[in-house]
Amino acid sequence: MLFRSVSQSRYATSLLVLIVGLFAGYLFNPQVGILSSLILALLPRFIGDSQNNLKDTPLATLFTLSIALFYFAIRRRKLIYFLLAGISAGLTYSTKINGLLIFPTICLFYLLERKITNTFKYFLKDVLFGFVSIFGFLGAILTVWPYYRFETIKRFQETLYTFQKHEWNEYVLYLGAPYRDWE
């Protein structure tokens, strides 16, 4: 797990506000970037999660960073962006398995982008760039998560199986009363 303490999660919260502001400012204009950061920073759920949720806020931070890097990679077609995006995606997966949702999102964006610009002539180069991203993804996972260094495919299958069957049967405190999670 990449983020192990509440203070590290709080740093990720600040970084997420910054990434959202910069990316929205780049895509639209600086006023939209500032407004996006303000709205995100003032959301009650976001404030609460930043204080006590060790995985979801860092996951959102790395997921957003990965989306931004893949956006620049696909738009600018530079190898370094694909490598950095793959590394960021690997760190996202290392934080929480939900990081795998980056890939359907990116594939959909890629297909829409190529259909809009109608430039499939670079498809083979894009496949090479995709392999660079996968290399960065796997390299990041193997670097920060020692569990995957041996029998990597088996460990990945174990992780998927574990999280498919995972049940959380604990109590949740809601308005001063404890409830089971399914209630």
Enter the pTM of the model. 0.84
* Alpha carbon 152 to chain centroid, angstroms: 21
Residue ranges in 96-122 assigned as alpha helix (H): 102-117
pLDDT in tens, the chain (183 residues): 455 555 666 788 899 999 999 999 999 999 999 999 999 999 988 887 777 777 888 899 999 999 999 999 999 989 999 999 999 999 999 988 889 999 999 999 988 887 766 666 677 888 899 999 999 999 999 999 888 999 999 999 998 888 887 777 777 777 778 887 666
Q: Determine the 3-state secondary structure of 182 from DSSP.
A: coil
Distance between CA atoms of residues 3 and 91, nearest Å:
10
Distance between CA atoms of residues 160 and 44, nearest Å:
32
129 closest CA partner among 66, 89, 70: 70
pLDDT at 50: 79
Distance between CA atoms of residues 63 and 98, nearest Å:
9
Tokens of 131: 């392999």
pLDDT at 111: 84
Distances (CA, A) of 20 to 16, 17, 46: 6, 5, 13
Contact 22, 32 (CB under 8 A): no
Q: Determine the 3-state secondary structure of 177 from DSSP.
A: strand
Distance between CA atoms of residues 159 and 149, nearest Å:
14
Contact 83, 39 (CB under 8 A): no
Distance between CA atoms of residues 10 and 16, nearest Å:
10
Distance between CA atoms of residues 131 and 83, nearest Å:
9
Distances (CA, A) of 164 to 11, 98, 120, 167: 30, 12, 36, 9
